[in-house]
Amino acid sequence: MTEAAALETVDVTCVFQVSQGLLRGSKPLRAVNGVSLKIPRGRVVGLVGESGCGKSTMANILLGLQRPSSGDVLYSGDSAAGFSRRQIARRIQPIFQDPYSSLNPTKSIESIVSQPLRIHNVGAPSEWSARVGEMLDVVGLPRRVASSYPSQLSGGQRQRVAIARALIMRPEVVICDEPTSALDVSVQSQILNLLQDLKEEFGLTYLLISHNLAVVQHMADRVAVMYLGRIVEEADSDTLFNDPRHPYTRALLGSVLTPEPRLGVPDTHLGAVFPNPIDPPPGCTFHPRCPDCMAICRSEPPRPASDGGHKTECHLYGGAGAPPTATHRGDNP
């Protein structure tokens, strides 16, 4: 890929110091551990993984809400260091999971949607109301809701308000963090359709963070699977869903419950114990839960291997060898 990605992370690591209690000092928690991810312009990249794997920390880093401990974020090829928080917000906007808590209950819809305009001082205040009206049209809400409050709207309507707020500054990239998880099935499909339409209309680029793989497969061109702060597999959507390689990806895909009777509940053969991220297992961090665990997995972290655009980080693929450049075990930055 020669074109500059709309958004790119280069070996980003984010370490939090977690207190172990009084007198016991603190330990580092590597929420994101050496992640390089490219989000090409006009594409939808899906990021999947269990809770606690670092997906939301990634979102915060990309939004400029969290400074990475090391590594860099590139906006259209330019380092994040050159941008202020406000400039980043002009390019990248979030849509969060829960429209019940992401909208201020004491503000009217007009005030919520026009807030980015006020903050960035765009245009004359007299035009704001008209722009809010246009935005409401775009997301399929009647203009009269402008004077309503979030509590008067349904979940689907609130999520549309959140989308209107995210798009009013015409950002390049929208980070959708579980945009439909809190919604009913019939509303979920409406929001997904709306996100598709808006992508065409405004030429948007999405990072879609979700644990619902059916949704990710439906929306994303490319998918990255995250486990304990690392991207363990990354490939084009079709490749990943047709030929999943990493045992974790296979377990994730096996856990998707599609509405097809007679199949029963799959047994994922995945141990239940999500490892403690403060004290990750040695070697491949997935090995305690892995059905295909080999001796080498317990001692050596796997090296990323790439086959065309299909990247996998697993000893089953690509030879064993020296650990990746970012060591897995805890040196304090």
Partner 1 sequence: MSGTILEVENLSVDIPVAAGMLHPVRGIGFTVSRGETLCIVGESGCGKSLTSLAIMGLLPKTARRNADRMEFLGRDIRNLREREMARLRGGSMSMIFQEPMTSLNPSYTIGNQLAEVYLRHVEQSRAAARDRAVFLLEKVGISSAASRLGQYPHQLSGGQRQRVMIAMALMCGPELIIADEPTTALDVTIQAQILHLLAELQREFRMGMILITHDLGIVARVADKVQVMYAGKTVEEGPCETVFDAPMHPYTQGLLRCIPIPGRTRRGERLGSVPGIVPNLVGELSGCMFRNRCDYASDACAGLRDEPTRMGDGHAYTCLRAPEEVLGERQPAEAP
Task: Return the number of the residue (267 or 331) whose C-beta is nearest partner 1.
Answer: 267
At 63, list the tokens. 């939004």
Tell me the closest approach of the beta carbon of residue 246 to partner 1, in angstroms: 13
Tell me the closest approach of the beta carbon of residue 89 to partner 1, in angstroms: 28
φ, ψ for residue 194 (rounded to 5)?
-60, -45
Tell me the closest approach of the beta carbon of residue 290 to partner 1, in angstroms: 13
At 183, list the tokens. 């919604």
Task: Return the number of the residue (254 or 318) whose C-beta is nearest partner 1.
Answer: 254
Task: Return the number of the residue (261 or 308) whose C-beta is nearest partner 1.
Answer: 261
Task: Return the number of the residue (91 or 222) whose C-beta is nearest partner 1.
Answer: 222
CB 269 within 8 A of CB 248: no
Tell me the closest approach of the beta carbon of residue 186 to partner 1, in angstroms: 4
Q: Which residues contact 310 (CB under 8 A, 6 or more apart)?
A: 233, 234, 235, 236, 239, 240, 243, 245
Task: Return the number of the residue (44 or 63) whose C-beta is nearest partner 1.
Answer: 44
127 C-beta neighbours (distance < 10 Å), count: 12
Task: Return the number of the residue (117 or 232) whose C-beta is nearest partner 1.
Answer: 232
Of 275, 296, 278, 294, nearest to 286 (Cα)? 275
CB 140 within 8 A of CB 187: no
Tell me the closest approach of the beta carbon of residue 210 to partner 1, in angstroms: 10
Helix axes 155-167, 125-138, angle to 10 degrees: 130
Tell me the closest approach of the beta carbon of residue 154 to partner 1, in angstroms: 6
Q: Which residues contact 283 (CB under 8 A, 6 or more apart)?
A: 296, 297, 298, 299, 300, 301
Tell me the closest approach of the beta carbon of residue 329 to partner 1, in angstroms: 23
Query: Positive or negative, the Cα torsion across 276, 230, 310, 179?
Result: positive
Q: How far apart are the first and last CA of the chain?
A: 32
Using the structure block, give the residue that is written with the tokens 């670092």.
Answer: 54
Task: Return the number of the residue (37 or 225) whose C-beta is nearest partner 1.
Answer: 225
Tell me the closest approach of the beta carbon of residue 314 to partner 1, in angstroms: 17
Of 48, 56, 62, 3, nearest to 240 (Cα)? 48
Rule CB under 8 A: which residues touch partner 1?
50-51, 154-155, 184-190, 192-193, 196, 211-215, 217-221, 237, 241, 251-268, 270, 272-274
List beta partners, residue 312. 233, 305
Task: Return the number of the residue (200 or 331) whose C-beta is nearest partner 1.
Answer: 200
Task: Collapse the DSSP code of 35 into the 3-class scheme (helix H, G, I; strand E, B; otherwise coil) and give the result.
Answer: strand
